């Protein structure tokens, strides 16, 4: 798999470079060099410079050393400036790439009824020398471009994947017909394996937003062993659905009449509780209505089927399973989900899970993918290594280093009873670290 090196649009002009008069590049460099030479000469070697000028050429040799020194300093400054510009351009450069779906992916299509061979999964990539590779998974009806502002300034190597059929260009393409949710999840696993082959020495961190966070959970449901084999470092999940009460938008999309969609789409806008949220919802609807709506609607309906009920048990089961397959997870709930945080935290404690991996943000749902929030959250979570466990804490990650296997219900990471957790805690090793 070789990513396409199609460059992005032309780089933006630096502030202050538009002076209304087009100057040749060589003239700009010449003026800069001359000014630098004159400035350095008159400041660093002012006495010798003035003496040489006063001598009217008699002491010309006195000019040689200061001029040479000034020229070397100016050239060095220009080289450093050009290097800094090149580094800045490299950091801002975002490449478009694609993963061709070959016959290797055919077994990864659920019941086999979805035709996907020969198609492509598209992604955006910001290459960095970082050892960490962040793979972003977008929300329902969105695409990789929603992470572009953060990727342009991130210090991590970033790849944002656009799920199958979610490109605007694929809207009217009969080759990209809607596929099952299970097939989407398995294709995501296929893409992760291909990226792992391309960058075998990088540590993968999954970053899922909304529906994308749900897909990270579903990897354990549909492709558990393959997910474990990737040795994912961390999974950072932004506003995953905790039960059917958080599927507000998906519930509306699921019942939209494709021939007369306006009524239900307007109801989505009416759910806004602030002007900022209204703007975000308008932008969201603009994006999803430019995509293959049949694909989005099928997703919404299948996610609803998996999120029935108001219990948090299934959500916590997913957390335990994914935590067991990674070095750790971090779940962020937006301010819109605030009412769910305390009940989830209490239930997590009864299962022996640490609430340190749960966070309630003051940001709204769509603000969680803003560049400022992503920078603060991702750098904080990924940069943090193990911290000492405090009394009453137990990592969400479930493995031999932390929990005694006999206390756990298989595949859930759940203690059989709270008494089992207290029994384990009384004999715990205080030197164990939080994963």
> Quick check: 93 pLDDT over 90?
no
In a 13 Å sphere around the CA of 33, the CA atoms on its Cβ side amount to 15
> Quick check: 311 pLDDT over 60?
yes
Residues in the chain: 435
Mean pLDDT of 285-310: 93
Identify whether residues 242 and 368 lie together within a single domain: yes
Mean pLDDT of 113-128: 91
Q: Cα(413)–Cα(25) distance, rounded to whole angstroms? A: 63
Across the chain, mean pLDDT equals: 78
Based on C-alpha coordinates, what's the Rg of the chain?
28
Identify whether residues 104 and 249 lie together within a single domain: yes
430 pLDDT band (50/70/90 cuts)? very low
Nearest by Cα to 34 from 2, 1, 77 = 77
Domain boundary pick from 386, 403, 427: 386
Q: Which residue has the tokens 């910001």?
A: 126
> Quick check: 43 pLDDT over 70?
no
Mean pLDDT of 360-366: 93
| Six token digits for residue 311 | 């219990």
> Quick check: 405 pLDDT over 60?
no
- Domain extent at residue 81: 25-91
420 inside domain: no
Residues 176 and 170 sit within 8 Å (Cβ to Cβ) = yes
Mean pLDDT of 101-130: 83
- The tens digit of pLDDT for each residue in 237-246 reads 999 999 999 9
Identify whether residues 152 and 287 lie together within a single domain: yes
417 inside domain: no
Nearest by Cα to 219 from 199, 200, 198, 204 = 204
415 inside domain: no
> Quick check: 338 pLDDT over 60?
yes
> Quick check: 259 pLDDT over 50?
yes
110 pLDDT band (50/70/90 cuts)? low
306 inside domain: yes
Q: Which residue has the tokens 């957790």?
A: 421
| Position with higher pLDDT, 337 vs 417 | 337
Provide the pLDDT for residue 402: 32
- The tens digit of pLDDT for each residue in 47-61 reads 665 565 565 555 555
416 pLDDT band (50/70/90 cuts)? very low
77 pLDDT band (50/70/90 cuts)? low
Provide the pLDDT for residue 115: 85
| Position with higher pLDDT, 186 vs 66 | 186
- CB count in 10 Å sphere of residue 279: 12
| Six token digits for residue 409 | 């219900």
Identify whether residues 72 and 113 lie together within a single domain: no
Residues 40 and 71 sit within 8 Å (Cβ to Cβ) = no
Provide the pLDDT for residue 269: 93
> Quick check: 220 pLDDT over 70?
yes
Provide the pLDDT for residue 105: 78
Mean pLDDT of 330-352: 93
Question: Which span out of 60-64, 258-262, 391-395 was modeled with the highest average pLDDT?
Answer: 258-262
Strand, helix or coil at 207?
A: strand
394 inside domain: no
Provide the pLDDT for residue 113: 78
Identify whether residues 76 and 58 lie together within a single domain: yes
Nearest by Cα to 424 from 412, 435, 398 = 398
Provide the pLDDT for residue 81: 58
Identify whether residues 179 and 72 lie together within a single domain: no
Identify whether residues 86 and 101 lie together within a single domain: no
419 inside domain: no
Identify whether residues 314 and 172 lie together within a single domain: yes
Mean pLDDT of 130-155: 96
Q: What domain count does the chain have?
A: 2
Residues 121 and 98 sit within 8 Å (Cβ to Cβ) = yes
Residues 284 and 312 sit within 8 Å (Cβ to Cβ) = no
Contacts of 58 (CB under 8 A, 6+ apart): none
Identify whether residues 209 and 358 lie together within a single domain: yes
Q: Cα(61)–Cα(308) distance, rounded to whole angstroms? A: 89
416 inside domain: no
Strand, helix or coil at 404?
A: coil
Residues 391 and 421 sit within 8 Å (Cβ to Cβ) = no
Nearest by Cα to 169 from 292, 11, 49, 333 = 292
Q: Cα(72)–Cα(204) distance, rounded to whole angstroms? A: 45
CATH number, domain of 113, equals 3.40.50.1820
> Quick check: 72 pLDDT over 80?
no
401 inside domain: no
Identify whether residues 215 and 299 lie together within a single domain: yes
Residues 218 and 185 sit within 8 Å (Cβ to Cβ) = yes
Mean pLDDT of 146-166: 95
Provide the pLDDT for residue 15: 37
Identify whether residues 130 and 233 lie together within a single domain: yes
Identify whether residues 49 and 161 lie together within a single domain: no
């Amino acid at each position: 798999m070789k990513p396409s090196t199609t460059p992005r649009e032309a780089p933006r002009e630096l502030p202050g470079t538009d002076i209304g008069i087009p100057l040749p590049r060589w003239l700009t460099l010449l003026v800069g060099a001359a000014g630098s030479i004159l400035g350095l000469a008159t400041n660093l070697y002012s006495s010798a410079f003035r003496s040489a000028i006063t001598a009217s050429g008699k002491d010309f040799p006195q000019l040689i050393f200061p001029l040479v020194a000034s020229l070397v300093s100016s050239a060095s400054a220009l080289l450093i400036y050009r290097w800094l510009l090149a580094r800045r351009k490299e950091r801002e450069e975002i490449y478009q790439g694609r993963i061709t779906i070959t016959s290797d992916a055919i077994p990864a299509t659920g019941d086999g009824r979805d035709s996907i061979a020969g198609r492509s999964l598209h992604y955006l990539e910001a290459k960095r020398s970082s050892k960490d590779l962040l793979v972003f998974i977008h929300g329902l009806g969105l695409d990789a471009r929603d992470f572009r502002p953060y990727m342009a300034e991130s210090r991590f190597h970033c790849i944002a994947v656009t799920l199958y059929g979610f490109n605007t260009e694929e809207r009217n393409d009969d080759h990209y017909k809607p596929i099952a949710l299970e097939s989407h999840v398995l294709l995501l696993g296929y893409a992760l394996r291909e990226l792992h082959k391309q960058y075998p020495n990088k540590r993968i961190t999954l970053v899922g937003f909304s529906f994308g966070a749900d897909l990270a959970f579903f990897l354990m449901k549909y492709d558990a062993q393959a997910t474990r084999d990737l040795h994912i470092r961390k999974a950072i999940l932004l506003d995953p659905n905790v039960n059917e009460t958080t599927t507000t938008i998906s519930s509306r999309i699921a019942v939209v009449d494709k021939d007369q969609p306006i009524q239900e789409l307007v109801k989505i806008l009416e759910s806004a509780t602030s002007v900022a949220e209204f703007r975000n919802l308008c932008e969201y609807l603009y994006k999803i209505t430019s995509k293959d709506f049949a694909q989005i609607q099928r997703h919404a309906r299948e996610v609803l089927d998996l999120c029935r009920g108001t219990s948090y048990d299934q959500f916590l089961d997913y957390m335990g399973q994914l935590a067991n397959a990674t070095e750790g997870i971090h779940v962020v709930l937006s301010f819109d989900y605030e009412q769910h945080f305390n009940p989830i935290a209490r239930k997590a404690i009864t299962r022996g899970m640490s609430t340190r991996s749960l966070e309630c943000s003051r940001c709204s749902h769509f603000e969680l993918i803003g560049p400022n929030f992503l920078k603060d959250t991702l750098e904080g979570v990924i940069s943090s290594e193990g911290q000492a466990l405090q009394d009453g804490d137990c990592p969400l990650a479930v493995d031999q280093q932390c929990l005694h296997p006999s206390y756990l219900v298989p595949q859930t990471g759940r203690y059989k009873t709270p008494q089992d957790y207290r029994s384990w805690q009384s004999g715990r090793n205080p030197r164990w670290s939080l994963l």
